[in-house]
C-alpha cells in the first residue's frame, strides 16, 4: 500500500509524481493550443523541442534524488504531452482526487494508474462530471484550502477557465473541517500576460509564513489584499506581469527551507536566499513556454 498524505505546500517531500517530456509529440497546431502562451510560441516558431524539455525535467529528477524523494513517472504514451502531472490529479490529506480534465487528456490519467493502484481504493475519489477542478488551482495550507476559480458568466467560453464553482463546492463538501477560500482569477485566451491559468500562476505559499503573489492575477482586488494581509506584506514577494508571464510563482518546495526554482529568476532567487532558503536552481525556461513550470509538472503524494 502506498501511503499518501499532503497537508500543505512546504512540508518535507517524500514521494512525488513528476511528469515526463519523452515522446511529447509534434508542435501543436495553432487551433490545438490550450493556453495563450503556447499559442504565442507556436506562432513565433519558438515552441520548445522535446530534447530540451527532457533535459530540464531530468535536472529536477536529479534534485529529487539528491534529497532522497521517491519519484514516480507516468507510463509513456506516444506523442502525448505528459509534462503537467499537477493538472490530472492531486492529494488533499490522505485522499487522492482525480481531476475532471479536458476530455482529450484523459489518457494522461491512465498513465499513472499503476500509482493509483497502490493507494487504498477507498481513498481515491473522482468528482461528478459537472465538477471542474485542476490541481494547479488547489493550494493546501494546513487548516486552509485555497482554490483558484473563474466566476464569470462566460466560464464555458474559456478553455483557460479550469475550475468552476461546482469545483469549489465539491472541495468544501469533501473537507468540512477545512476553511476553503476561493479566488476569482483573471483569464485571457489571447494574452498570456493577462491570463492566470491556475492559482499557482499568481500565488504560492513558501516556507512557514511567506508567499509569492501577483496582484493583477486576481479579478477582485480585495481577495489579493486578503492574502497579502494573511501572510503579511514583509513576507510577500510581489511579482510583476513579466515575472508572472515567466512563471515566477510556479516554483516548488521540497521542504520548508528548500525550494527548486528556475535559474533565470534572478530577483526572486536572490530574495529567497536573503530570507534563508536553500535554492536549487534548474533550467526550466523551455517548459515555461507552455504556461506551466515546476509546480505544474509535480504532484506530491507524501509530505511529512
Question: What tens digit of pLDDT does each residue of 225-234 get?
Answer: 999 999 999 9
Residues 25 and 81 sit within 8 Å (Cβ to Cβ)? yes
Mean pLDDT of the chain: 93
User: What are the C-alpha distances in Å from 98 to residues 25, 76, 106, 257, 301?
Assistant: 24, 19, 10, 29, 13
pLDDT value of position 91: 98
How long a stretch of residues is the chain? 304
Residues 151 and 184 sit within 8 Å (Cβ to Cβ)? yes
pLDDT value of position 158: 66
pLDDT value of position 160: 65
pLDDT value of position 67: 98
pLDDT value of position 141: 98
CATH class for the domain made up of 13-303 = alpha beta
Beta pairing, strands 179-184 & 203-206: unpaired
The three-class DSSP label of residue 40 is helix
What cell numbers appear for 234 in the block?
Answer: 514583509
Q: Which portions of the chain are predicted below pLDDT 70? A: 157-161
Amino acid at each position: 500500500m502506498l501511503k499518501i498524505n499532503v497537508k500543505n505546500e512546504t512540508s518535507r517531500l517524500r514521494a512525488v509524481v513528476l511528469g515526463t517530456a519523452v515522446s511529447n509529440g509534434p508542435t501543436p497546431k495553432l487551433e490545438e493550443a490550450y493556453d495563450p502562451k503556447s499559442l504565442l510560441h507556436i506562432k513565433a516558431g519558438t515552441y520548445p523541442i522535446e530534447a530540451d524539455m527532457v533535459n530540464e525535467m531530468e535536472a529536477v529528477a536529479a534534485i529529487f534524488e539528491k534529497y532522497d524523494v521517491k519519484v514516480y513517472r507516468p507510463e509513456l504514451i506516444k506523442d502525448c504531452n505528459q509534462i503537467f502531472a499537477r493538472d490530472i490529479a492531486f492529494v488533499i490529506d490522505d485522499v487522492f482526487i482525480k481531476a475532471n480534465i479536458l476530455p482529450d487528456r484523459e489518457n494522461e490519467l491512465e498513465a499513472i494508474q499503476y500509482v493509483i493502484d497502490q493507494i487504498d481504493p477507498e481513498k481515491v475519489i473522482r468528482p461528478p462530471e459537472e465538477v471542474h477542478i485542476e490541481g494547479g488551482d488547489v493550494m493546501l495550507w494546513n487548516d486552509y484550502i485555497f482554490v483558484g476559480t473563474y466566476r464569470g458568466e462566460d466560464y464555458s467560453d474559456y478553455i483557460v477557465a479550469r475550475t468552476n464553482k461546482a469545483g469549489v463546492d465539491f472541495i468544501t463538501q469533501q473537507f468540512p473541517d477545512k476553511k476553503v477560500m476561493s479566488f476569482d482569477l483573471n483569464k485571457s485566451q489571447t494574452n498570456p500576460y493577462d491570463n492566470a491559468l491556475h492559482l499557482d500562476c499568481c500565488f504560492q505559499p513558501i516556507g512557514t509564513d511567506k508567499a509569492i503573489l501577483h496582484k493583477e492575477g486576481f479579478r477582485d482586488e480585495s481577495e489579493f489584499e486578503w492574502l497579502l494581509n494573511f501572510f503579511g506584506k514583509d513576507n510577500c514577494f510581489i511579482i510583476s506581469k513579466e515575472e508572472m508571464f515567466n512563471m515566477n510563482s510556479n516554483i516548488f518546495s521540497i521542504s520548508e527551507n528548500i525550494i527548486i526554482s528556475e535559474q533565470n529568476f534572478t530577483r526572486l532567487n536572490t530574495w529567497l536566499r536573503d530570507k534563508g532558503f536553500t535554492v536549487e536552481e534548474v533550467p526550466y525556461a523551455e517548459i515555461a513556454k507552455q504556461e506551466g513550470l515546476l509546480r505544474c509538472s509535480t504532484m506530491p503524494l507524501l509530505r511529512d
